[in-house]
Amino acid sequence: MSPIKECIKRKKVNTNPIWIMRQAGRYLPEFRKIRKKNPDFIKLCLNKNIVPEITLQPLRRFDFDAAIIFSDILMLPYGLGQNVKFTKGFGPSLDKTSIKLMKSVNKGEFFKKLNPVYKSLNIVSKNKLLKNKDLIGFVGAPWTILVYMQNRQSPKKTKALNNFSFKKTFTQTEEIKVIKIITNFLKLHIKKQVENGATLIQIFDSWAELLRTEKAREKFIYRPNKELVDYTKKLGVPVICFPRGVENYKRFCNVAKPDAVSIDYNVNPKKIIKQIDIPVQGGLNPKVLLGDKDKIKKEALKYLEIFNDHPYIFNLGHGILPETDPEKVKYLVNLVKDFK
């Protein structure tokens, strides 16, 4: 059994598994060479000849306990007929969509558009570098996908963090219907990833922080995540949820019941360990890896010591930053692996 599954399923605390969000990508010079030749990000995510190599690049350098498929949560809107593009320095932008357009997409069309993602997973799953390691598939949570489909760009670009001033693609009445459509297609996306070799699924609710009331979180975060968690568990693979900024992690875990929960860097690890019984993942601020080795050691040991007697998967509290020196990552991995 892989170290991550030992931690999740058997609640082992004598191992320190590690992987890093966005480990396949932007901080590696070998990835940047590929990216320079492939400026269309969506096309790159759908290139089954290149994606397996990008996914495995980190494992050629570091002793991570998992590979995570090189893809994006916005493959879901793309599969539902919403045009998605990425612009350097701006991020994603999405064309306008509608319930009518989403309802017109059938399973066959959806699978055909995203089939290269599944082909890439299948190729990676057979690679010898994955011996005793997990292959992580992932999706965005329904709420976060709705945010992008509604706003048609990152909330960071529209100051929605402060005033929730989204472009209104859907009415309030339509939002619940859209969430249901999104959830149903996310299930299909998860199923195909598992069928093609994903041994673990992570659900990213990257914009959970936008909802300020428990009533709204219940409707758009807790229950939709639970539906995906329940579905994924029935497929026989563990599921990790990352409800970034949700605040009430205890309530989230009690309702959604993931196998493990990933925490962001604003969460107090000493507080969370008193609230949550299930395995915990992550927490380290990605900016720590921009500092010197003494700083990295100090901050990493803080998490390792706090979770010393609690099932814990070492990870960051968000994606690794592009300017990170790979040598610092190597130092961190060795530090975690050597911790007793």
What digits encode the pLDDT tens for the residues 193-222? 999 999 999 999 999 999 889 999 999 999
**What is the average per-residue pLDDT within 128-150?**
96
The pLDDT, as a whole number, for residue 173 is: 77
Higher pLDDT, 151 or 222: 222
Which amino acid is located at 25 in the chain?
G
Q: Of residues 13 and 55, which shows the higher confidence score?
A: 55
Query: Is the pLDDT confidence value at 161 over 50?
Result: no
Domain span holding position 246:
3-338
- Tokens for 274? 């008193």
Encode 233-264 in three state secondary structure: HHCCCCEEEECCCCCCHHHHHHHHCCCEEEEC
Nearest to 229 by CA among 252, 199, 200, 259: 259
pTM, whole model, 2 decimals? 0.95
Single-letter code of the amino acid located at 88: K
pLDDT of residue 224: 97
What whole-number distance in Å separates Cα of residue 184 and Cα of residue 179? 9
Angle at 80 (CA atoms; ends 194, 102), nearest 5 degrees: 130
Looking at the structure of the chain, the number of domains it has is 1
What CA–CA distances, in Å, run from 120 to 23, 44, 123, 137, 235? 17, 11, 5, 11, 20
What residue type is assigned to position 63 of the chain? D
| CATH for 150 | 3.20.20.210
- What pLDDT is attached to residue 128? 97
Q: Give yes or no for residue 271 having a pLDDT over 60.
A: yes
